[in-house]
A = this chain, B = another copy of it.
Amino acid sequence: MAELFNFEMTATDGKARTGVIHTPRGDIRTPAFMPVGTAATVKAMMPESVRATGADILLGNTYHLMLRPTAERIDRLGGLHKFMNWDRPILTDSGGFQVMSLAGLRKLTEKGVTFKSHIDGSKHELTPERSMEIQRLLGSDIVMCFDECPALPADRDRIAESMRLSMRWAERSREAFGDRPGHALFGIMQGGLERDLREESAEALKNIGFDGYAVGGLAVGEGQAAMFDCLDYAPDMLPQDKPRYLMGVGKPDDIVGAVARGIDMMDCVLPSRSGRTGQAFTRHGVVNIKNARHQDDPRPLDADCGCPACSKYSRAYLHHVFRANEMISGMLLTWHNLHYFQDIMAGMRESIAAGTFDAWQKDFHANREMGDIEPL
């Protein structure tokens, strides 16, 4: 699989890296932000529009898709790419994180997890082997190991126990994944905020051997400062020559701080979810479009943004359609947010390549502080 899937690092600046992940379905420019297409759609967006924002890869959620429409059905229909009309790379999570979030509805054993569907209460099982099978049926390009992770804060024993279970599951995931040319399997480092547990997890994963490595178990309640503390050392424990993926992150400044610490890939529902609830991220801060102060404002959301929402509509219009519960509100704000997130990634890629990432970061933070910032 190394021939068909490989990571080419083209430049570094400090700990930050830029490059390209080559896959049979197309290149992924790194640092990469992956919009989330939970149920075979990036909510409120046509796939052509997601691509137009600059996205090279989407994330799909195993948990949601296995319940509805089911992995077997997607397989019969030709796979997730064809099903959702996205022919570029797709990364799927393992379902583990979302199943673990079903407190009270799930039971954890060495073998895996049994749980009840949030849709109809039906009983299901996820194991490393079943997660690999589902992700294969979906046709995922980047498959994630099945893992387990506690919300933070959690006590050290719980974190250690969970991490070691995840490492045994990583080995079973690797075994079950097999050899699939053109498809990659990523391991997931756990260990919470405990440096020695992160080290132990990294060693276990490297011994197994993966095509890429995720930093898991962050963005689960610990706050940005604690997350950055962990990212000050955790990425360095992973192989230099493989992609490093920080799962579930994040806000624009989380993303920039993560890239500065050596992360290559991220995903988050924030730009799409916020778009539907009327929050726009801009280079000048956050705009809550529902606020009455926008109702007569002829200015765009962000005069420096080239997305359709900013180039063709006023804040007054965006306010109006949000207040009127019109679908175009979520469509335009999601488009803007995804466009802005991809603009950040492009800016980081260019400045890392040029060796000017420090200056780029200073501008990024200065613009936000000068702006018309509304609290999230």
Q: Which residues of A come within 8 Å of B, CB atoms? A: 39-41, 43-46, 68-69, 73, 76-78, 83-85, 295-296, 298, 308, 312-314, 316-317, 319-321, 323-324, 326-328, 330-331
Contacts and interface: CB of A to CB of B under 8 A. Distances in A.
Number of this chain's copies in the complex: 2
A309 B328 CA distance: 18
A304 to B, nearest CB: 19
Given A40-B321, A77-B316, A83-B314, A69 B295 contact: yes
Contact of A331 (B46, B83, B320): B46
Contact of A324 (B68, B314, B319): B68
Contacts of A68: 320, 323-324
- From DSSP, what is the main secondary structure of chain A's interface residues? loop
B73 A316 contact: yes
Contact of A73 (B44, B296, B328): B296
B46 A316 contact: no
Contact of A326 (B39, B73, B324): B39
Q: What 7 A-B pairs are tightest by C-beta distance, nearest first?
A: A69-B320, A41-B328, A44-B327, A85-B312, A39-B324, A41-B326, A77-B316
Given A69-B316, A314-B83, A317-B84, A78 B298 contact: yes
A312 B78 CA distance: 13
Contacts of A83: 314, 316-317, 320
A327 B317 contact: no
A12 to B, nearest CB: 39
A210 to B, nearest CB: 31
Contact of A46 (B73, B84, B308, B323): B308
Nearest to A68: B324
A330 B327 contact: yes
A334 to B, nearest CB: 9
Contacts of A323: 68-69
20 contacts: A40-B321, A43-B328, A44-B327, A69-B295, A69-B316, A69-B320, A69-B323, A73-B295, A73-B296, A77-B298, A77-B314, A77-B316, A77-B317, A78-B298, A83-B317, A85-B313, A85-B317, A327-B327, A327-B330, A331-B331
Contacts of A331: 44, 46, 327, 331
A294 to B, nearest CB: 11
Contacts of A326: 39, 41, 43
A316 B314 CA distance: 37
A348 to B, nearest CB: 29
A307 to B, nearest CB: 12
B41 A76 contact: no
A39 B69 contact: no
Nearest to A327: B44
Nearest to A326: B41
Contacts of A39: 320-321, 324, 326
Given A68-B323, A76-B296, A324-B68, A317 B40 contact: yes
A328 B45 contact: yes
Contacts of A312: 85
Nearest to A40: B320
A354 B337 CA distance: 49
Given A46-B328, A69-B319, 4 more contacts: A40-B320, A43-B327, A68-B320, A77-B314
A304 B359 CA distance: 55
Nearest to A44: B327
A62 to B, nearest CB: 15
A316 B40 CA distance: 12
